[in-house]
Amino acid sequence: MTEITDSKAWKKLVEHQKSIQATHMRDLFNQDPNRFDNFHLNFQDLIVDFSKNKINNHTLKLLMDLAREAKLDDWRTKLFKGEKINFTENRAALHTALRNQSNHPIMIDGEDVMPKVNNVLDKMAKFSEDVRNGDWKGYSGKRIVTIVNIGIGGSDLGPAMVCKALKSFGHPNLKPIFVSNVDGADISQALEQCDPETTLFIVASKTFTTQETMANASTARQWLLNHFQGNTASIKSHFVAVSTNARVVKEFGIDTENMFEFWDWVGGRYSLWSAIGLSIAVYLGMDHYRKLLAGAHEIDQHFLETPLKKNIPVILAMIGVWYINFFNYNTHAILPYDQGLSLLPPYLQQADMESNGKFVSRDDEYVSLHTGPVVWGESGTNGQHAFYQLIHQGQDIIPSDFIIPMRSQYHPNSEADLHHKILFSNFIAQTRALMMGKTENEVRKEMFPTDESYGKLEHLVRHKSFLGDRPSNSIIFNELDPKTLGRLLAIYEHKIFVQGVVWNINSFDQWGVEYGKQIASMVLPELSTTRATEAFDSSTNNLINNFKKNT
């Protein structure tokens, strides 16, 4: 198969990059007073400003040509039709069906999946309402006040991120806690905050065999049984499962009536849209959970129906390809200026890096390109006092997404209004500073306002200058609510998919996760023996043997 690097658009982009590389972004703004008008998109109240990028109209044309040469339209259709584009696992990637508000049939192997999807949503609605209004009670008859979600990866990152982001919409008398790390400190610290008689555990594992999740679930189970004098009947009132493995769920002691199903075409990093989102539904209420789904569905339709040059996920994806493959900028910062979105960077780390961190193509050939950036970030303004120094003056150019609501979630008053104005001013300042920079002459004018002062601190001029020309996208919306969050997450999902199409990789498997688990299963038995281990390489053997000596 012809490599994307052999395409006409790719070769033209290589040449175009050489011509635009030396053009400073401040010059692009000077040349085009209407640059914002030409390089931003709107969706409902959402504004995506991509004007602070090293691009012009010709850049965008070539990038859209590249997307077409990668057959993006065909792959987009395959995704939404439920074709098994995750070919290494022989699965569809139909997370879009989970939020299909139009309810039109979506077929897999000749079966419409929507009836099953809707049945699970209805079951989630009843259960969440029962917990929220107190009809679901613990074993001793007390209402639930604490929800502990036990999962890992997508079964933790998604629900935890959404519940934190939308805390102002949460039930005032329910406290969500998320446990993922197999480190015993995680479950222990969670249980310290709980009363066995008022705690509900949601154990989220597709197979119900995930090592970390089941270790934590077993500890929680024993903690509950210790309180109820070993009475296993108490499990039914305090544990529910999100899984596909009814047999193992039953063996654990959970009534299979309290098991919420999802399917093998739901990838882990897309699973918050499925029953894995049960903790979201309980905490926020099913009406708000459905609004989250509705927001994502709106972007699904936008992505599916909108021409490429006006398509938000496509534009963001192709600008990312531009930087990764033509400028060799191999990291990307997610910088939400909203404390509720502080878990968005780690959530998008998984969504992006687990999807596109591949070195083998769909044609089983080694990929010759960088596939995906290192994704990282922190909420503003905390990040400004941590790593922005490197973003502004470091040797590495780090494209960044700045994200902010125009209004705080919390009830406005003069004090809250001041906080948000300070936050917004920092948001604006950072993107402008990264783009504009500050020349040495501009520094001199600031430092030496009079002729008499000129030159006294000349040695500091270069230190206080900024090269600028550092790209960023600004994503702004009215308020962080369930529908807006759904839109935002779906934009990133489809962005990642588009990039995978261009790089000719399968964005929906994650075999790299499995190899470490395989070796861990070989190491674990060795830790329970007293003899010296000789089964592995010298480093591994010595690390294991030192562990044995000291435990």
**Which is more confidently placed, 457 or 184?**
184
Banded pLDDT at 165 (limits 50, 70, 90): very high
Tokens coding 477: 């919306």
Q: What is the pLDDT of residue 417?
A: 85
**Residue 443 half-sphere exposure toward CB, CA atoms < 13 A:** 16
Catalytic residue list contains 358: no
This model's pTM is above 0.75 = yes
Q: What is the pLDDT of residue 263?
A: 95
Domain boundaries, the chain: 26-83+306-502, 107-289, 511-549
Cβ neighbours of residue 179 under 8 Å, at least 6 residues apart? 148, 149, 150, 156, 186, 187, 190, 216, 220
Instruction: Considering the domain delimited by 26-83+306-502, tell me its CATH architecture.
Output: 3-Layer(aba) Sandwich (3.40)
Strand partners, 150: 179, 203
Which one is catalytic: 197, 212, 298, 354? 354
Residue 50 pLDDT > 70: yes
pLDDT (tens digit per residue) in 89-126: 999 999 999 999 898 999 999 999 999 999 999 999 99
Q: What is the pLDDT of residue 413?
A: 73
Over the chain, what is the mean pLDDT?
95
Sort residue 493 into left (φ over 0), alpha (ψ -120 to 50) or beta: alpha
3-state secondary structure of 381: coil
Residue 402 pLDDT > 70: yes
Q: What is the pLDDT of residue 410?
A: 75
Residue 147 pLDDT > 70: yes
Residue 539 pLDDT > 90: yes
pLDDT (tens digit per residue) in 406-457: 998 876 677 778 899 999 999 999 999 999 999 999 998 888 876 666 667 8
Which one is catalytic: 11, 126, 310, 385? 385
Tokens 């191999």, residue? 330
Instruction: Give mean pLDDT, residues 497-526.
Output: 95
Residue 151 pLDDT > 90: yes
Catalytic residue list contains 81: no
Which one is catalytic: 11, 419, 445, 517? 517
Q: What is the pLDDT of residue 450?
A: 64
pLDDT (tens digit per residue) in 227-286: 999 999 999 999 999 999 999 999 999 999 999 999 999 999 999 999 999 999 999 999
Instruction: Considering the domain delimited by 511-549, tell me its CATH architecture.
Output: Orthogonal Bundle (1.10)
Domains 107-289 and 511-549 share a fold: no
CATH hierarchy code of domain 107-289 = 3.40.50.10490
Helix residue ranges, H only, 150-210: 154-165, 184-191
DSSP state at residue 7: S
3-state secondary structure of 124: helix
Catalytic residue list contains 385: yes
Give the span between the Cα atoms of 398 and 203, in whole angstroms. Answer: 38
Q: Are 386 and 111 in contact (CB under 8 A)?
A: no
Tokens coding 347: 């959530």
